[in-house]
Amino acid sequence: MSYIDLHMHTDYSDGACTADEVLEMVRSSGISAFSITDHDTLGGYRHARTALRPGDPELVSGVELSVLIGEDDVHVLAYLFDPDDKPLNNSLLAFQQKRHTRGQQIVEKLQNLGVDVAFDAVTETADGSVIGRPHVAETLHRLNKVGSYQEAFDKYIGRKGPAYVPKVLLEPQAAIDMVHAAGGVAILAHPFIDDMARHIPMLTEMGLDGLEVKHSNHTAEQAARLERIAAKHRLAVSGGSDFHGREGRHGAIGSQRVPALYLQDLKKRAAQNRGRL
């Protein structure tokens, strides 16, 4: 049986490794297909696409979106869409700009707390990537304002921290419709992180295509439960490591042993969606 990994990040968003480094790990992992699912950007995907060699694993278009349900930041993985779709790319660009503004607001809060850090230092850390809290945390650690990367979240920028600024998020229906219009499928990411599984019935009504069943934070029991839920709601299933390349942050590429059959089912689902457009 061949395996795939449809969830990983590069330093184009909040991963620690370059797209080239991720591609080398993919090649050595033995998987047959992969998707780079950076937050709100296709930069990592595009970089890897240009670096592919004959015989490399199949690269599937992917991106991780954030949607707002109540007060919950819910992550939706998009796959198999047209990476050149103009409305999707325009939306991603808008959210990249909003992330930049959010980064500035976080730094302003840190400065008001007496932390001597400049936004230029954060952009230097990001080095052209879409700015997120991990870049702020890395900057604070690099400048010795905190003792560790995690301390930056615990002390300042975590959701209950004094310098936290919430993200501007998509509405779930708008996100799902956008993915479908671009020819792709929308998958609820890691449903058992923060109990996002409770939103499955509502998202299914909105046209959700599937669930990320296999994930480095899911137990075998949780994965089996999600498979039953997916069958009940006639949803596809997916899976991946959610590799970030940071210590203690999810699993290694290929670690979840996601059957390649999952991708074939996703492709069928995407074709059905396109047939309804």
Same fold for the domain at 3-91+168-276 and the one at 92-157? no
The reported pTM is 0.91
Could you read off the pLDDT of 38-95 as tens digits, one per residue?
Answer: 999 999 999 999 999 999 999 999 999 999 999 999 999 999 999 999 999 999 999 9
pLDDT at residue 1 in the model: 86
Q: Rounded to whole angstroms, how far apart are CA atoms 152 and 163?
A: 10
Q: Is the pLDDT of residue 11 over 70?
A: yes
CATH class of the domain defined by 92-157 = mainly alpha
Q: What is the mean pLDDT of the chain?
A: 96
- The domain ranges of the chain are 3-91+168-276, 92-157
Q: Is-contact 8 262, C-beta < 8 A?
A: no
Q: What is the pLDDT of residues 137-151, one digit of tens each?
A: 999 999 999 999 999
Helix (H, G, I), strand (E, B) or coil at 82: coil
CATH class of 3-91+168-276: alpha beta
How far is it, in rounded angstroms, from Cα 141 to Cα 36? Answer: 27
Q: What percent of the residues of the chain are helix, what percent strand, and what percent coil, each to the nearest 5?
A: 45, 15, 40
